[in-house]
């Protein structure tokens, strides 16, 4: 076959190695018995012809794609980048490849991921979901696929144990409560909140944690100190801080639902000449790398994105390798407050 012509096929390999096409197929796919010397002859011919097997053909023969679908909200947030890196390292070590699918944190796109899996485009799925799992119940009932949900809130009870998947979650509501508790216990009386879209379940959960902590400490929730943004990236934090500033008096402390929002807001406040944390204490959540690099360094909550990604990959690969789509497990990761300069005396 001439250089630059069509791709080599098993028939070209059969001709070069002097064996039947069926033998070539069995040798390359390790199906059935083929003599060792024949396998070596076939593999040598395949290498000489630069033969690349199509994934679709392999999938038809083995019923496996060698692919793992990973559905995540976005790739702009370093939190998810760190999680993806941990998943990919585990996946590669087990001979799998990864398909990334972005949901934008929207229910309709998270549901679309389940629909894609029904077409068997991958052998299993990890979904980092931000919405209430009740949205997926019809899909969970008939999914029958190796599935791990990584949830940014802990709200799943025993009623889901009839479905076959693994749940790995972080109780971010509790984490926000603990951050606000620290401010309250150290004398801050006016505590604000800047957070992501409250229509998204996980972010509504964080806001509820803020409200619950104020109530616990008998502090009034002042709406003028609260800004809820449609999105949750750095520029969104900047714009939210601008909106808060335009209302007049600032709170003495602000708790943010995301580090990126806190970073953007801190930039705005510093542009206005506001001293952090002397005039305004700040805390975030996610503990992304930039927390240590900005000035003042940002107090945050580590919610173990690397551990979550690694554990999710291990669990879904175990299900794939053992052929399991039944049974339920739940793992709750506890956030850890990392105190830095931005939170002042808290």
Residue 212 has pLDDT above 60, yes or no: yes
Task: Answer yes or no: do 55 and 43 share one domain.
Answer: yes
Residue spans of alpha helices (H) in the chain:
10-17, 21-29, 36-48, 55-62, 78-93, 107-118, 137-142, 172-185, 201-216, 234-245, 259-271, 305-322
Residue at 4 is within a domain: no
The fraction of the chain above a pLDDT of 70, given in percent, is: 89
Task: Answer yes or no: do 122 and 22 share one domain.
Answer: no
Q: What is the pLDDT of residue 175?
A: 95
**Count: domains in the chain:** 3
The DSSP bridge partners found for residue 83 are: none
Task: Answer yes or no: do 44 and 161 share one domain.
Answer: no
Task: Supply the pTM of this predicted model.
Answer: 0.74
**Mean pLDDT within 244-255:** 96
Largest CA distance in the chain: 85
Task: Answer yes or no: do 52 and 98 share one domain.
Answer: no
**Mean pLDDT within 227-247:** 94
Task: Answer yes or no: do 177 and 295 share one domain.
Answer: yes
pLDDT 10s digits, 108-158: 888 888 888 877 788 899 998 777 777 777 777 666 688 898 988 887 666
Residue at 1 is within a domain: no
Task: Answer yes or no: do 177 and 297 share one domain.
Answer: yes
- Considering 23, 38, 62, which residue would you say is the last residue of a domain? 62
Task: Answer yes or no: do 195 and 294 share one domain.
Answer: yes
Average pLDDT, the chain: 86
Question: Comparing 82-86, 211-215, 296-300, which segment has the lowest mean pLDDT?
Answer: 82-86
**Residue 286 binned pLDDT confidence (cut-offs 50, 70, 90):** very high
Residue 180 has pLDDT above 80, yes or no: yes
Residue at 73 is within a domain: yes
- DSSP class of 7: P
Residue 262 has pLDDT above 80, yes or no: yes
Give the whole-angstrom CA distance, residue 288 versus residue 199: 24
Task: Answer yes or no: do 221 and 273 share one domain.
Answer: yes
Task: Answer yes or no: do 183 and 294 share one domain.
Answer: yes
Task: Answer yes or no: do 311 and 164 share one domain.
Answer: yes
Q: What is the pLDDT of residue 4?
A: 47
Residue at 225 is within a domain: yes
pLDDT 10s digits, 315-340: 999 988 887 666 778 899 989 999 99
**Mean pLDDT within 224-237:** 93
The CATH number that applies at residue 313 is 3.40.50.2300
- Domain that residue 124 falls in: 67-171+305-334
Q: What is the pLDDT of residue 3?
A: 45
Exposed e or buried b per residue across 296-335, where buried means at least 16 C-beta atoms within 10 angstroms of its C-beta: bbbbbbbbbbebbbbbbbbbbbebbeeeebeeeebbebeb
Residue at 130 is within a domain: yes
**Mean pLDDT within 13-25:** 84
Task: Answer yes or no: do 180 and 106 share one domain.
Answer: no
Structure tokens at 73: 């909200």
């Amino acid at each position: 076959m001439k250089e630059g012509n069509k791709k080599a096929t098993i028939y070209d390999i059969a001709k070069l190695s002097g064996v039947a096409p069926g033998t070539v197929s069995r040798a390359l796919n390790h199906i059935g018995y083929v003599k060792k010397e024949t396998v070596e002859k076939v593999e040598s011919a395949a290498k000489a012809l630069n033969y690349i097997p199509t994934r679709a053909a392999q999938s038809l023969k083995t019923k496996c794609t060698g692919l793992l679908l990973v559905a995540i909200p976005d790739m702009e947030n370093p939190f998810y980048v760190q999680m993806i890196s941990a998943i990919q390292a585990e996946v590669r070590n087990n001979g799998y490849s990864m398909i990334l699918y972005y949901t934008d944190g929207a229910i309709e796109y998270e549901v679309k991921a389940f629909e894609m899996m029904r077409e068997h485009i991958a052998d299993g799925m990890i979904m980092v979901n931000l919405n209430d799992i009740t949205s997926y119940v019809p899909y969970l009932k008939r999914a029958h696929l190796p599935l791990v949900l990584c949830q940014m809130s802990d709200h799943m009870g025993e009623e889901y144990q009839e479905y076959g998947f693994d749940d790995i979650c972080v109780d971010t509501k509790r984490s926000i409560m603990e951050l606000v508790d620290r401010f309250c216990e150290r004398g801050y009386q006016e505590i604000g909140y800047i957070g992501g879209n409250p229509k998204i379940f996980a972010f509504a959960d964080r806001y509820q944690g803020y409200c619950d902590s104020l109530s616990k400490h008998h502090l009034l929730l002042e709406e003028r100190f609260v800004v809820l943004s449609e999105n949750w990236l750095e520029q969104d934090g900047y714009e939210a801080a601008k909106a808060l500033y335009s209302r007049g008096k600032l709170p003495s402390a602000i708790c943010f639902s995301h580090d990126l929002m806190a970073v953007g807001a801190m930039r705005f406040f510093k542009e206005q000449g506001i001293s952090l944390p002397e005039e305004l204490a700040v805390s975030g959540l996610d503990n992304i790398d930039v927390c240590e690099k900005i000035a003042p360094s940002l107090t945050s909550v580590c919610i173990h994105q690397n551990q979550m990604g690694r554990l999710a990959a291990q669990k879904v690969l175990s299900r794939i390798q053992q052929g399991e789509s039944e049974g339920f497990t739940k793992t709750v990761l506890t956030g850890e407050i990392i105190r830095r300069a931005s939170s002042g005396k808290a």
